Amino acid sequence: MPDPARLRDSTQIVVPRHALDGVRERLETEYTVTVFETETHCRIIGSPIEIKAVNDYLARQGVALA
């Protein structure tokens, strides 16, 4: 049985809310993901393949990922 924490890591990215300034619209247009906002963070949720692609895209845009 897979570890739930590991599955979560492959299906979501959590970044500070301001990190998506200027890229959120393109992110939601080009990738099949859902962006859920809280007061301080954004959670990007999608399939493992989409999350990998989004991770690469955000890295190219200079968004620091932990």
Token pair in block for residue 11: 């299906």
| pLDDT given at position 39 | 92
* pTM of the full structure: 0.81
* Residue 6 predicted with pLDDT over 60: no
| pLDDT given at position 64 | 81
What's the pLDDT tens digit per position in 22-64? 999 999 999 999 999 999 999 999 999 999 999 999 999 998 8
| pLDDT given at position 5 | 58
* Residue 15 predicted with pLDDT over 70: yes
